[in-house]
Amino acid sequence: MNTIINPEKSTWPSVLKRPTQTVEAIETTVTEIFKAVKTNGDSAISKYTQRFDGVVLDTMLVTAREIEDASKAVPTSLKEAIQEAKKNIETFHKAQITKRVAVDTAPGVSCWQEKRPIEKVGLYIPGGTAPLFSTVLMLAIPAKIAGCKELIVCSPPNKEGKIANEIVYAAQLCGATKIIKVGGIQAIAGLTFGTASIPQVYKIFGPGNQFVTVAKQLATKFGVAIDMPAGPSELLVVADDSANAAYVASDLLSQAEHGTDSQVLLVSTSKKLIASVEKEIEKQLEVLPRKTIAEKAIANSKLIVVETDAIALELINEYGPEHFIICLKNEALFVNEIVNAGSVFIGNYTPESAGDYASGTNHTLPTNGFSKAYSGVNLDSFTKSITFQKITKEGLVNIGNTIELMAEAEGLQAHKNAVTIRLNDIKN
């Protein structure tokens, strides 16, 4: 990893730069595939599935028989673990249900707000080198709690034309309406336009590589909403000498193994800790099955020494990490003052892996600095807030003149007339 000592504030943008390609470098490919899918539907999907996944499919839809076979193939111990995680995720997300908000803003003027589910959602589940069946839980569970009617799961097939058994099992366990063997840009395009095999949806959820992220952003140009621009995984740890260097190294590597374009950072006021963590990373890296991937991610990552906790906090808020681990004596400062982070993990015994799988919080989070403006996926991500109002005769008398004056001042006479005609009837 690259060690940087007391970087000047003017250099922070370059120090904190993510190892991601520019949108321009990717957009041409994404646009080409979107146009093809919009025009040719399933045939274009099949073409790109063969090109990128190396397989020709008889059908994109996972059949009932395949669901049954996949469920049987998942070991009982793993099924129990998935069910335990499901319970915790349900508990946390059910607690997010909010009541109807109602208030009389003036005598005779009643206003209220109610939540309604988004009827059709697309849930993108990354496959590739690490089939993320945990992401199925993180997306399908809140979608079901919210009351979404259609949950369309898309995930790339392997060379045998199958989706990982664990993904299929988790999808059926959590109530997926359809499970479709399509990944990458073509999956996002299919969910955007709809094809004979892939239903069109109103909102697309789920993480992915840089191509999937740009594809999701392009989908918004065609009237489809997205959860957030969630790209390659990232983690920032702030720690001091009270932290366990082995624990810190294990957390950094847990995200580095996601992909070669992942990024992990350690920020500390202690050069001693930085040195200890670096040694631990080298030691733990040697026994990782995904060593090659983690090594490339580590090459993009940094160990940053700063003089004070205050500087560390400012730098971290500037970066806006997806995952943020606080492991130092002065944890209250960072807990209270962090404003830009997707999900926060506090203390020596709160590994980021807990949030990825089973503590209950959601692991679909904003990356690439988008935590400055976006929340991670939560129950409200799957709902819309609709406002209602009912005004009595008394209520219209109370606020009618205000409406008339404001409408006239804006030059909108018909707006004024809609009130005036009613007030005249009430007076007469």
- Catalytic machinery residues: 322-323
d(CA 270, CA 237): 13
User: 180 in helix, strand or coil?
Assistant: strand
d(CA 344, CA 382): 22
Establish how many alpha carbons lie within 13 A of residue 145's alpha carbon, considering only the half-sphere containing its beta carbon: 23
**Terminal Cα distance for the chain, rounded:** 81
Spatial CA neighbour of 352 closest among 326, 332, 381: 326
d(CA 49, CA 166): 21
Contacts of 109 (CB under 8 A, 6+ apart): 389, 391, 392, 395, 398, 399
- 203-205 and 120-124 strand pairing: parallel
DSSP string for 249-293? HHHHHHHHTT-TT-EEEEEES-HHHHHHHHHHHHHHHTT-TTHHH
Q: What is the dihedral of CA 167, 173, 174, 177, to 10 degrees?
A: 80
Q: At what angle do helices 76-94 and 165-173 cross, to 10 degrees?
A: 40
Show the CA angle centred on residue 328, arms to residues 378 and 256, nearest 5°.
60
DSSP state at residue 369 = T
Decide if 210 contacts 187 (C-beta within 8 A): no
